[in-house]
Structure 1
Amino acid sequence: MKVVFNGAAQEVTGSCTLIETEKTRFLVDCGMFQGGREASDKNRNRFAFEPSDIDFVLLTHAHIDHSGLLPKLYREGFRGPIHTTTATAELLEIMLRDSAHIQETEAKRRAHRRRNRSKPLKEPIYTLPDAEAVLRQVRPLDYEERLQLQGGIDVRFRDAGHILGSAIVEIWVTEKGHSRKLVFSGDLGQPGRPILRDPAIVEEADILFIESTYGNRLHKNLTDTVDEFVDVVTETLQAKKGNVIIPAFAVGRTQELLYYFHQLVCEGRLGDLDIFVDSPMATAVTELTSRHMSLFDEQARRLARWHAKGENIPNLKFVGSVEESRALNAIRAGAIIIAASGMCTAGRIKYHLQENLPRPGSAILITGFQAQGTLGRKLVDGADQVRIFGQDVPVRASVHTLNGFSAHADQAALLDWLGGFKKTPSTTFVVHGEMSSSTAFAEEITNKLGWKTSIPERGQIEEIA
Structure 2
Amino acid sequence: MFYSCHGAAKQVTGSCHLVRCGDKQVLIDCGMFQGSREEEQANAEPFGFDPGRIDALLLTHAHLDHAGRIPRLVREGFRGRILATSATRDLARIVLLDAARLQEEDAARAERSSRRRGESVQPPLFTLDDAFNALERFSDPVGYGDTVSVVPGIQARFLDAGHILGSASILLNLQDGDQARSILFSGDLGSPGRPILRDPTPAPPADFVVMESTYGDRDHRALPDSVDELYEAVNSTLKRGGNVIIPTFALERAQEVLYYLHQGMRQDRIPARTPVFLDSPMAISATEVFRRHPECFDDEFTAVLRNEDPFAMPNLRFSHDSADSMAINRIEGGAVIMAGSGMCNGGRIRHHLRHNLWREKSSIVFVGYAAEGTLARRIVNGARRVQIFGEDIAVNAKIWTINGFSAHAGRDELLAWLGQNRRRGVFLVHGEYERGMQALATCLTGKGFTVRLPGKHEPILLD
TM-score range, shorter chain: over 0.9
8 Å CA contact retained: 1:23, 1:151: no
Q: Match of 1:463?
A: 461
Q: Match of 1:216?
A: 217
Q: Match of 1:452?
A: 450
Shift of 1:77: 1.0
User: Aligned to 2:333, what secondary structure does the other structure show?
Assistant: coil
User: Aligned to 1:131, what secondary structure does the other structure show?
Assistant: helix
Q: So what's the TM-score if we normalise by structure 2?
A: 0.97
Give 2:214's aligned amino acid: T
User: Aligned to 2:426, what secondary structure does the other structure show?
Assistant: strand
How large is the Cα RMSD of the aligned pairs?
1.5
Q: Aligned partners of 1:29, 1:287: CA distance in 2, in Å?
A: 24
User: Aligned to 2:199, what secondary structure does the other structure show?
Assistant: coil
8 Å CA contact retained: 2:262, 2:310: no
Q: Match of 1:258?
A: 258
Give 2:121's aligned amino acid: L
Q: Match of 2:358?
A: 358
Shift of 1:115: 6.6
Give 1:75's aligned amino acid: R
* Residues 247-274 of structure 1: CA deviation (Å, up to 9, x unaligned): 1111100000011011111222112221
Q: Match of 1:53?
A: 53
Give 1:280's aligned amino acid: P
Structure 2's unaligned 5+ residue stretches are none
User: Aligned to 1:114, what secondary structure does the other structure show?
Assistant: helix
Shift of 1:321: 1.1
Q: What aligned pairs does 1:174-193 form with structure 2 within 5 A after superposition?
A: 174-193=175-194
Bigger drift between 158-167 and 261-270 goes to 261-270
Q: Aligned partners of 2:349, 2:308: CA distance in 1, in Å?
A: 27
Give 1:275's aligned amino acid: V
Q: Match of 1:108?
A: 108
Q: Match of 2:153?
A: 152
Q: Match of 2:76?
A: 76
8 Å CA contact retained: 2:429, 2:454: yes
Q: What aligned pairs does 1:315-330 form with structure 2 within 5 A after superposition?
A: 315-330=315-330
User: Aligned to 1:17, what secondary structure does the other structure show?
Assistant: strand
8 Å CA contact retained: 2:181, 2:462: no
Q: Match of 2:305?
A: 304
Bigger drift between 297-306 and 157-166 goes to 297-306
8 Å CA contact retained: 1:307, 1:313: no
Q: Match of 2:343?
A: 343
Structure 1's unaligned 5+ residue stretches are none
Shift of 1:202: 2.5
Q: Match of 1:428?
A: 426
Shift of 1:407: 0.4
8 Å CA contact retained: 2:13, 2:430: yes
Give 1:388's aligned amino acid: I
Q: Aligned partners of 1:117, 1:4: CA distance in 2, in Å?
A: 42
Q: Match of 2:142?
A: 141
Q: Aligned partners of 1:396, 1:173: CA distance in 2, in Å?
A: 56
Q: Match of 2:379?
A: 379
Give 2:346's aligned amino acid: A
Q: Aligned partners of 1:177, 1:389: CA distance in 2, in Å?
A: 60
Shift of 1:384: 0.8
Shift of 1:306: 4.1
Q: Aligned partners of 2:333, 2:189: CA distance in 1, in Å?
A: 37
Shift of 1:308: 4.3
Give 1:199's aligned amino acid: P
Change (3 A) 1:142 1:450: same
Shift of 1:409: 0.2
Q: Aligned partners of 2:34, 2:194: CA distance in 1, in Å?
A: 26
Change (3 A) 1:66 1:314: same
Change (3 A) 1:314 1:412: farther
User: Aligned to 1:26, what secondary structure does the other structure show?
Assistant: strand
User: Aligned to 1:43, what secondary structure does the other structure show?
Assistant: helix
Q: Aligned partners of 1:379, 1:115: CA distance in 2, in Å?
A: 33
Q: Match of 2:124?
A: 124
User: Aligned to 1:268, what secondary structure does the other structure show?
Assistant: coil
Aligned residue pair count: 460
Bigger drift between 295-304 and 60-69 goes to 295-304
Shift of 1:168: 0.5
Q: Aligned partners of 1:308, 1:92: CA distance in 2, in Å?
A: 24
Q: Aligned partners of 1:203, 1:156: CA distance in 2, in Å?
A: 11
Q: Match of 1:287?
A: 288
Change (3 A) 1:309 1:392: closer
Give 1:228's aligned amino acid: E
Shift of 1:98: 0.4
Q: Aligned partners of 2:238, 2:71: CA distance in 1, in Å?
A: 42
Q: Aligned partners of 1:348, 1:364: CA distance in 2, in Å?
A: 14
Give 1:380's aligned amino acid: V
Q: Aligned partners of 2:35, 2:306: CA distance in 1, in Å?
A: 39
Shift of 1:457: 2.2
Bigger drift between 314-323 and 62-71 goes to 314-323
Q: So what's the TM-score if we normalise by structure 1?
A: 0.96
8 Å CA contact retained: 1:261, 1:314: no
Q: Aligned partners of 1:30, 1:339: CA distance in 2, in Å?
A: 25
Give 2:442's aligned amino acid: E
Q: Aligned partners of 1:169, 1:308: CA distance in 2, in Å?
A: 32
8 Å CA contact retained: 1:265, 1:314: no
Shift of 1:293: 1.7
Identity of aligned residues (%): 45
8 Å CA contact retained: 2:21, 2:175: no
Q: Aligned partners of 1:112, 1:318: CA distance in 2, in Å?
A: 32
Q: Aligned partners of 1:230, 1:302: CA distance in 2, in Å?
A: 24
Give 2:177's aligned amino acid: K
8 Å CA contact retained: 1:367, 1:403: yes
Give 1:241's aligned amino acid: G
* Residues 7-59 of structure 1: CA deviation (Å, up to 9, x unaligned): 11111100001112212012110000001211221011122111111111111
Give 2:413's aligned amino acid: A
Shift of 1:116: 6.3
* Residues 288-331 of structure 1: CA deviation (Å, up to 9, x unaligned): 10111221112322333343499x93410111111010000000
